[in-house]
Amino acid sequence: MKVVCLGAAGGMGSRAAEELGKVPGIDRLVLADRVRAGQVDTVVDVSDADALRRVLSDADLVLNCTGPFFRFGVPVLEAALDTATMYVDICDDPEPTAAMFELDQRAKDAGVGALIGMGASPGLSNLLAARAARRLDSVTDCYTVWPLDIPSPGQGHAAVDEGRDATGRPSAAAIHLMEQISGEICVVEQGRRQHRAPLAPIAFSYPGGGTGTAYTVGHPEPLTLHVSLGITGNAANAMLVQRPTAPYLAAIARDIDRGKLTHTAAAEAVLAPRPARLMRALVASVRFKGAGSLPSFFVLLRGERNGESRTVGCRMTSAPAGMAAATAVPAVLAITQLLERPLPPGVHPPEVVIDGDRLLTDLLPHCDGKLAGLDELAPVTEA
């Protein structure tokens, strides 16, 4: 079994490489990136189609950690299909997610299985949604929610605190966020996909306690869960932010849409905000609401069971420390399953082909805190 990890010099890729090195059954692990740094042993620019195919030509599986995925998701999957290489990624952009699903028949014809969006969000969020959906006979609405500048589950820091790469530049994740707070994003309304402006507020009342507001952001979950859960109502991905952050991001998004800021410059403006921008956001924040007492990483589903309306929530109470680990560790745990039971040909989201309860249970040793089991790590509550 030969596995290639692309983007192995980056934050997500380097942690994934570390975890892949511990997986029994991988005979050869090739760590590749466009720069030779750290543990990288193969240099390849994934935008060089021929070079990428040479690296994948004799590989059994490739884990794609090269972002942002709105640039590098589809080309790497196409290369994997051409070289008959099983494919896994941590894609968190909806546009390439939709484009990769359009390659489903090509993957089937090539006899290649592809698992896309197997990180934290998407990834763990999809598995939480599937876990919650087992409490319902039918799903009307589905929301996946994660934190931006408030602490992540079981951790003392926020995702935005990890917004720079090893060189000090905005990370691929930070640039991805700028893409997904600007323009239009895909949501589901009345069972149909629609394109709407991002950063729309959604008020939540979490089953068992907790109320607050989150703001919509582009992500793949509404696309995949719409199909896999048979959603007939509304679905969106949203982020939890401190109250002044919402108007600040809205102002940044307007500048992106007007062509005043590139995605990279916008990411820098978020990571190192100017005092004047901050002051304007503070003044505007009186018109916005914050995360309140909501859990920091959760899914919320509405639907029916036995003819009665029910609301079901599932949340993470802990996670591997740091955004890189919270993304990379689930991807590697999924690969561990795929070594035992290879993917069927085609392009698949996590909730369709991964045993979610097993993966969450396997995640327990990587989390902070002494959790007794799955029900403490990912409790399900309903109302």
Q: How confident is the model at residue 39 (pLDDT cuts 50, 70, 90)?
A: confident
The string of pLDDT tens digits covering residues 240-249 is 999 999 999 9
CATH number, domain with residue 81: 3.40.50.720
pLDDT of residue 366: 93
The amino acid occupying position 297 is: F
Q: Is the pLDDT of residue 172 over 90?
A: no
Q: Does one domain contain both 27 and 64?
A: yes
Q: Does one domain contain both 157 and 70?
A: no
Q: Is the pLDDT of residue 159 over 80?
A: no
Q: Is the pLDDT of residue 163 over 90?
A: no
Distance CA 135, CA 274 (A): 47
* Domain stops at, among 315, 344, 363: 315
Q: Does one domain contain both 106 and 176?
A: no
Around Cβ 343, how many Cβ atoms within 10 Å?
22
Q: Is the pLDDT of residue 310 over 90?
A: yes
How many domains is the chain partitioned into structurally?
2
Domain that holds residue 254: 126-315
Contacts of 82 (CB under 8 A, 6+ apart): 53, 110
Q: Does one domain contain both 137 and 238?
A: yes
Q: Is the pLDDT of residue 167 over 90?
A: no
Residue 311 lies in a domain: yes
Distance CA 355, CA 178 (A): 32
The string of pLDDT tens digits covering residues 267-300 is 999 999 989 888 999 898 888 999 999 999 999 9
pLDDT of residue 240: 96
Q: Does one domain contain both 310 and 346?
A: no
- Global pTM? 0.94
Q: Does one domain contain both 151 and 214?
A: yes
Q: Does one domain contain both 132 and 256?
A: yes
Average pLDDT rounded to a whole number, residues 112-117: 98
pLDDT of residue 200: 97
pLDDT of residue 179: 92
Q: Which two tokens stand for residue 223?
A: 């696309």
Q: Is the pLDDT of residue 158 over 80?
A: no
Q: Does one domain contain both 196 and 157?
A: yes
- Judged by DSSP in three states, 170 sits in strand
Q: Does one domain contain both 179 and 247?
A: yes
Distance CA 268, CA 287 (A): 25
* Domain stops at, among 287, 315, 343: 315
Do 215 and 253 touch, CB atoms closer than 8 A? no
The string of pLDDT tens digits covering residues 71-102 is 899 999 999 999 999 999 999 999 999 999 99
The amino acid occupying position 176 is: H
pLDDT of residue 38: 72
Q: What is the mean pLDDT of the chain?
A: 94
Do 146 and 221 touch, CB atoms closer than 8 A? no
Q: Does one domain contain both 85 and 152?
A: no
Q: Is the pLDDT of residue 7 over 80?
A: yes
Query: Which spans in 258-322 are helix H?
Result: 263-271, 275-284
Residue 382 lies in a domain: no
Q: Does one domain contain both 33 and 16?
A: yes
Do 320 and 367 touch, CB atoms closer than 8 A? yes
Distance CA 216, CA 261 (A): 21
